[in-house]
Structure 1
């Protein structure tokens, strides 16, 4: 089955009513913020989205996506390819009153000025949240080995008098 480009925006209410599923890809060049946060986006993103209306009559979007990005290892400063897999369940944010009724397991997503969901922003946000805080190679792949992580010598600590010796002397005097 050939993957198709996903639409940039969708009407979540209309799509959920029809229980549509979208299966396709998003071009790597469309992830501007992800490219800025990494050393580059290395692959198009495969995306699967499912739209439905749940028991509370909320429009629910569940999805999975993956992409490969290049990150700089914070141990050895060499770039490496990181495979980023995300899955999410969200519902559109309509108002503060309705947001209070949304179950904890749903993320709230903003709609654009036309009441549509920006699919690219949604997926890109999920990738940005999934990036490691401190990117590093696996230990066996890193050029810096763990025994090279100690820098310099630790000086011998000189013998210090025990501050409680004064109390010991007072006790002996009594």
Structure 2
């Protein structure tokens, strides 16, 4: 096992034949797309990968990745820290037409013209996919109280206003 800075690309077919295991990190400075999606990327990504050939003779990349990021709470607009964790389970394909033949437990990942997979792109994509749709603090840590949150019925001053789209209902009748 290697415990160091991980390579940016790997050859999954050769590494799977050798049953390679990687354990290391990817520097925070390389996550440009992730940093556009969050307030701040706080730590290097910690990654553990195992490459092997499964009983169906498919090359498999399995592992975990973890990184700390700072997100903006959509309720109170303050930032908060969140750890993004991803479970990786990929099988490399030379083109995406082969993806349909893979078992459902594996996600396809396309190799480049040299037969290599970009670890950085693969892991950064998984981090972006694991971001919450609406980032929010836990309700006990948020500055916006439960009393300030409105659920269900609208306040009377909003309910009594005329609907601006009521004019369109007349056009629909004609």
Q: TM-score, normalised by structure 2?
A: 0.84
CA RMSD of aligned residues (A): 2.3
Q: Structure 1 residues 55 and 98 mapped into 2: Cα distance closer, same or farther (>3 Å)? A: farther
Could you list the per-position Cα deviations for residues 91-148 of structure 1 after superposition, in whole angstroms to 9, with x for gaps in the alignment?
Answer: 1122455323210010011222321010011110110010000000010100001111
Rounded to whole Å, the distance in 1 between the matches of 2:149 and 2:97 is 53
Rounded to whole Å, the distance in 1 between the matches of 2:36 and 2:126 is 15
Moved more, 142-151 or 48-57: 142-151
Corresponding residue number in structure 2 for 1:83: 83
Please report how far the alpha carbon of residue 28 of structure 1 lies from its aligned counterpart in structure 2 after TM superposition: 0.7
Corresponding residue number in structure 2 for 1:112: 112
Corresponding residue number in structure 2 for 1:94: 94
For the residue of structure 2 that corresponds to 1:122, the secondary structure is helix
For the residue of structure 2 that corresponds to 1:55, the secondary structure is coil
Rounded to whole Å, the distance in 2 between the matches of 1:4 and 1:97 is 35
The structure that has the greater radius of gyration is 1
- Structure 2 unaligned residues grouped into runs of 5+: 161-174
Q: How many residues align?
A: 158
- Structure 1 unaligned residues grouped into runs of 5+: 159-174
Rounded to whole Å, the distance in 2 between the matches of 1:118 and 1:129 is 17
Any runs of at least 4 consecutive aligned residues in structure 1 with deviations exceeding 6 A, and if so which? none
